[in-house]
Amino acid sequence: MSLFRNNIEKLPNEIGELKSLKTLNLRLNKLKTLPTAFSNLSELESVNLQFNELVNLPVNFKDMKNLYWLDLDHNDSINVSSLCKAVSQYPNPIVITTYNDPKINKDTLFIKLPYFSTLPNEIGLIKNLSILNLVNCNIGKMPQEISKLSSIHEISMIACNVTALPENFGNIPNLVKLNLGRNKLTNLPKSLGNLKKIRSINLVYNNIDGIPNTIGELHQLEELYLYKNNIERLPSQIGNLSNLQILNISENPINELPKEINGLHSLLLLDLRGTKITESIRTKIQQILPNQCEVLD
């Protein structure tokens, strides 16, 4: 059903009687909310609500098990807390994104949001959130409740003005990929070492001045990108990362590496460009690294 560009300000409760409805296009209207009866559209698969005036979503998506696409982009006053509560009991995996339209998988609910400010505490209610991909939002300090996301395996917040991670951030049990590039982080919590399943960490373009010793506990880590920070030294525990394949510490004021890097048996690429590491030290580094490792300087 298409109700595109009709200046609709309110949907009647009777819309919930359209039990067989599968697609609904409400783009470019003037909706500020949705009726609670919207929850009765159990066969609904795709909803386009772009360019409305939505604020709150008093809808429980729990029984809308066929829904795989919810487009809320260009609703600039959307209450993200309200959204979190609305999808908190949704039974299938959930992806929340502000990126361009992702590749759709009908077994997953994809929610497209506009850029927004502040990640609410209610984010921790979404037990089936599997991916959080945000760009150009204004997050500030990440809430402690993010550690409750037991199903999430990817967090990407690029250029989101993230200033701090909560101390319990490492308690996210199934996180595999973390991208916090182009933010304003200055330090990392010690609990980072609890991310036992993490394989890729991207922290480029921040203001981080040190890496916690607990980094050495990330035995599944394969990629570590630290380009453009203020790191002067790496902890000796980094030598415990036997599965690490890529280590990018370029454009940092670092002038030496710990001898323990000889434990990086899987390393394929070490990027030292823009550091203070001298040629003589680089030569010594190459001698203790595996033969397959390429060193960029």
* Model confidence pLDDT, tens digit, residues 16-49: 999 999 999 999 999 999 999 999 999 999 999 9
Q: What percentage of the chain has pLDDT greater than the value 70? A: 99
Is residue 24 in some structural domain? yes
The CATH number covering residue 116 comes to 3.80.10.10
Domain count for the chain, please give it: 1
- Count how many Cα atoms sit within 13 Å of the Cα of residue 262 in the half-sphere of its side chain: 6
| pLDDT score for 105 | 87
pTM of the model: 0.96
* Digitized pLDDT (tens) for each residue of the chain, 297 residues in all: 999 999 999 999 999 999 999 999 999 999 999 999 999 999 999 999 999 999 999 899 999 999 999 999 999 999 999 999 999 999 999 999 998 766 778 999 999 999 999 999 999 999 999 999 999 999 999 999 999 999 999 999 999 999 999 999 999 999 999 999 999 999 999 999 999 999 999 999 999 999 999 999 999 999 999 999 999 999 999 999 999 999 999 999 999 999 999 999 999 999 999 999 999 999 999 999 999 999 999
| pLDDT score for 102 | 66
Q: Are residues 35 and 16 in contact, defined by beta-carbon separation less than 8 angstroms?
A: yes
Is residue 105 in some structural domain? yes
Is residue 71 in some structural domain? yes
Is residue 283 in some structural domain? no
Is residue 82 in some structural domain? yes
| pLDDT score for 101 | 65
Is residue 215 in some structural domain? no
Is residue 185 in some structural domain? no
| pLDDT score for 116 | 95
Is residue 90 in some structural domain? yes
| Structural domain range at position 97 | 1-131
